[in-house]
Amino acid sequence: MRKFWIITKDVYLKNVKSISFLIMILVPFIMLGIIYVAGNFAQQNSDVNKIGVLADNEQISQQMSQVKTDDFEFKAVDSEEKAQKELSEEKIDAYLVVSTENDKINGMLYSENSLGQSTQLLIQQQLTGLQSMLRASQLGISPEEVASLSQQASLTRQKVNFDSKGKMTVGEDNSTVQYVVSYVATIVLFIIILTYAQIIAQEIASEKGTRIMEVILSSTTAQKHFYGKLTGVLLVALTQMALYGIIFGIGYSQFKDMEMVKNILDGISLDNLIGPFLWYSLLFMIFGILIFSVLAALCGSLVNKAEDTAKAILPVTYLSLGGYMLGLILGASDPNNIVIRITSYIPFLSSYIMPIRLANETVGMGGALISLLVLVAVTFLLMILSANMYKSNVLVYSEGGLWSSLKQSISIMRNERKKA
């Protein structure tokens, strides 16, 4: 047991003390800072598009000239020739020709460069509003009555629960916040899995490639070495997650009184959020990291050189990418899809998909528990299988690729069992 902890400690300290670990901790916060600064800079320094307006109805030109938004403003022009001249001299960014036919308004926007889809949509909305006002005036309806008719209906969702007697109780709806948490957790999980899969595969492949592995296995068992490496890398991943939690906690305590933070957290019940959903999400994340790390260790033990690690962990990459894409794209848009419902119970994929389903409340805690138990069971089965194959894997030196190494490893295992 002492040698197991020596291996674990060596792997843990070597990775935690590395510059790459510090970079992994800081990169998300640096990226958020860059996005925040870039967003503020773009907002403060963004130019307002000037759009010339030429209409066959002078009232429309006057009304549109009064419209000013953060993205564009209108300027009335006398003729299309003048509009073309100002556009060529870059005095305006585009010009809009508006024509009326009976009670219908048609607009044609001329520009050298695209103003962006959002700006064009806003211009279309302005024209639609003018068209509504034009039709309303012909029908003798006042602008106030038009505004009243255009007012959108209110729709809110109320979460309900039923007790054992069938009595309904009304609760808080935290599905939006839960979805954001699961969305962020899915992205973090994807990054951590790819990072630590590379680390553990590199750890094993480098020792095997330099023949140090043979010396190490002469002083300890293959299983102890395998579990030591795996535990060390898992502790590094847990340390990273814990540091994120601590930084988030410190950040919340420091900035909770800011107006922006208050607006974000307004209406969110942290007591309800920090409940079964959060604990299930954390457990799926931890066992997701573990099962992918076991697979990466198995793949890493089959290659001869550290340079081949990237190819070796392709199964990990593809499986992880599959779960990531299913969870974020299909799981977000259609959480009741049959593919999502089935894959949320399949190990490797369930770590990504089940938290999304929990956030969308398309599965109960019972279903999540079954999925988690299946994931835990398969993780430990794969761990035991990988540990048993590890000794023969690290002693196989084949240039035929992963499948060739795997076949040789299985052959060695069978021969050893026959001798035993």
Q: What is the pLDDT of residue 248?
A: 78
DSSP-derived secondary structure for 23-60: HHHHHHHHHHHHHHHHHHHHHHHPPPEEEEEEESSHHH
The structural domain count of the chain equals: 2
Contact 217, 207 (CB under 8 A): no
Q: What is the pLDDT of residue 180?
A: 74
| Judgement on whether residues 271 and 389 belong to the same structural domain of the protein | yes
The reply to whether 4 falls in a domain is no
Contact 196, 188 (CB under 8 A): no
CB burial class (10 A; 0-12, 13-18, 19+) of residue 75? middle
| Judgement on whether residues 191 and 140 belong to the same structural domain of the protein | no
The reply to whether 195 falls in a domain is yes
| Judgement on whether residues 217 and 130 belong to the same structural domain of the protein | no
| Judgement on whether residues 235 and 346 belong to the same structural domain of the protein | yes
Task: Say how many CA atoms lie within 13 Å of 281 toward its Cβ.
Answer: 25
The reply to whether 376 falls in a domain is yes
The reply to whether 112 falls in a domain is yes
Average pLDDT of the segment spanning 12-20: 88
| Judgement on whether residues 394 and 251 belong to the same structural domain of the protein | yes
| Judgement on whether residues 194 and 122 belong to the same structural domain of the protein | no
Q: Is the pLDDT of residue 371 over 90?
A: yes
Distance CA 302, CA 103 (A): 75
| Judgement on whether residues 186 and 128 belong to the same structural domain of the protein | no
pLDDT band at 203 (very low <50, low <70, confident <90, very high): confident
Dump pLDDT digits (tens) for 85-123: 888 888 888 888 888 877 788 888 888 877 777 778 888
| Judgement on whether residues 244 and 360 belong to the same structural domain of the protein | yes
| Judgement on whether residues 231 and 83 belong to the same structural domain of the protein | no
Distance CA 349, CA 283 (A): 14
The share of the chain scoring above pLDDT 90, in percent, equals 10
| Judgement on whether residues 99 and 208 belong to the same structural domain of the protein | no
Of 146, 164, 196, which one is at a domain's C-terminal end? 146
Which residue range(s) make up the domain with 53?
49-146
Alpha helices, DSSP H, located in 151-258: 175-209, 212-216, 222-255
Dump pLDDT digits (tens) for 391-403: 777 766 666 666 6
Q: Is the pLDDT of residue 262 over 70?
A: no
Contact 79, 38 (CB under 8 A): no
